[in-house]
Structure 1
């Protein structure tokens, strides 16, 4: 009699899982209501598992679709930017170097006067010779050119000089397979002819099998000596502006109004000066673009400063270089 009572109790507990309703998620209660109490527990688990799997599968598909659309939008933006940059490179070379329609002479018909002017400007690089001559050091006599042309030349060169630490600390620099040393060296002479392609190539998708390049000697010097580069480059740009307006005061070049009139005429007749204006406009775009994507290289306490100052031509690049955290592995 006791044995029969024990079997009856066990069967009753097995057929009526009273604790099942308390632990069942609300998502499956409706389905559970239509399941008979006579159903086997294994069948009930299979039905609930099937229901749960279908819900999870739908959720995964929704997430995947969203991620794919975002990725596709990013890829489209990247392709548009790359297309625009390569188009700008083609226009830059064809319009400024080859076609005769821009002011001045194209490369294939360059005049001797333009060559002599370019040599003179190069000799007065960063005003080293004129400043040496002004204090009585006359190892080489500095060519006497219009201060406005000298100022424009050295302003662009000084700005280009400061791009070295920025390029060597760019987080996407490894996507460019060539030598950054060579690229920056040519940039100093041909400016955006080489910088535009770099800006396009750095937009490529990252190479998962790419191994980081060994730091060159030039990179080490430019990054570790970034404060010196910033001071020298910034000073060169400031002196260039002052020199263009007030330099060679005893050379009968007139006042500010006369020099401004010369600049307008110079830009409309000399291909080199005309190209420099293109370079300045492109630098105004490239400087905040590159700095904005490399703010992680800046000292944490100065990130907000650089973030907003980066839009100011020249000054933003000086701020990035002076605030560069050289102790970090950049």
Structure 2
């Protein structure tokens, strides 16, 4: 009889496992124990598991197992790598379109390279001689070692605006934190950029997205690079002044000649962009510089003096002036 009573008591306790818990046992553990001991149909258990899914998630998140950490890191790394490859593909595609459309195909306004006219060549020579308006300004004060070619001030203004902006890219490239991923000479790259602008800057933007080469020994800064970095503020003042003068020159320059009012000059610009390949290409350059300037400055804000980082951070989106701000606020004493 005593044995039967003992068996009955044990059986009752097994059917009621929750009675073994202390009254202050957290609800979380009591619910998990119910799932573990109660005998329910599969559908009911599945519902309870879904309701308690957060328990499993919290357990995995707090887990110190290397497998869960590795999976998370790999997924983020793969996402970044895919984005990097997409950006590189877009940049190389833009390089192909830039060269084929602007240099080779006859469909854009003006003449392609293989059918360039003598008028276009003469215009290029004249614009080059009037680089940064040095000859016209010298002639205006009585210095006539060489007479400046007389071209439409809007074409001179557009040319010097793009060249002045390109000029200021030199210190930015020489202080770029990812410049060592480009194995070539930055001196040569920037030199060609001054003549052919984005024909050489687009590939640089693509190459700097390569993964870092751990076996590569960084090059010693060239003399040109040192001059450009140490004189970054001077470069910024000269380049910014050239861009500003270019705008004013296009609107009001050569007022003693018959180039008409501002409205007449604007009308010339519209026809100039639709008939001259060089002017049409400059519009492409301006659009690409608007993208590349904040991109490069944003990844090199650590080169800026600490008290001026916020100013440059926001001004970098303003064409030309954002680059001027970067050069004026560059911390040249910091090793870059």
| TM-score normalised by length of structure 1 | 0.83
Q: Does 1:256 align with 2:262?
A: yes
Q: 1:141 — aligned with what?
A: 147
Residue 61 of structure 1, aligned match among 64, 67, 76:
67
Residue 70 of structure 1, aligned match among 56, 66, 76:
76
Aligned equivalents of 2:139, 2:202: Cα separation in 1: 37
How do 1:5-154 and structure 2 match up within 5 A? 59-154=65-160
- Report SS of the residue matched to 1:162: helix
Q: How many residues align?
A: 277
Residue 199 of structure 1, aligned match among 190, 198, 205:
205
Q: Does 1:177 align with 2:193?
A: no
Q: Does 1:274 align with 2:280?
A: yes
CA-to-aligned-CA distance 1:44-90 (integer Å, 9 cap, x gap): xxxxxxxxxxx999721110000000000000000000000000000
Residue 225 of structure 1, aligned match among 225, 231, 249:
231
Q: 1:189 — aligned with what?
A: 195
Unpaired runs of 5+ residues, structure 1, are: 1-54
1:58/1:324 CA distance change after superposition, 3 Å: closer
CA-to-aligned-CA distance 1:103-139 (integer Å, 9 cap, x gap): 0000000000000000000000000000000000000
Aligned equivalents of 1:86, 1:207: Cα separation in 2: 20
Q: Does 1:327 align with 2:326?
A: no
- Root-mean-square deviation (CA, aligned residues, Å) is 1.3
Aligned equivalents of 1:313, 1:237: Cα separation in 2: 10
Could you tell me how far 1:97 is from its partner in structure 2?
A: 0.1
Aligned equivalents of 1:235, 1:204: Cα separation in 2: 35
Could you tell me how far 1:243 is from its partner in structure 2?
A: 0.0
Q: 1:244 — aligned with what?
A: 250
Q: 2:304 — aligned with what?
A: 298
Aligned equivalents of 2:177, 2:116: Cα separation in 1: 39
Q: Does 1:168 align with 2:151?
A: no
Unpaired runs of 5+ residues, structure 2, are: 1-60
Runs of 4+ aligned residues of structure 1 deviating over 6 Å after TM superposition are 55-58
Residue 315 of structure 2, aligned match among 283, 296, 309:
309
Q: 2:217 — aligned with what?
A: 211
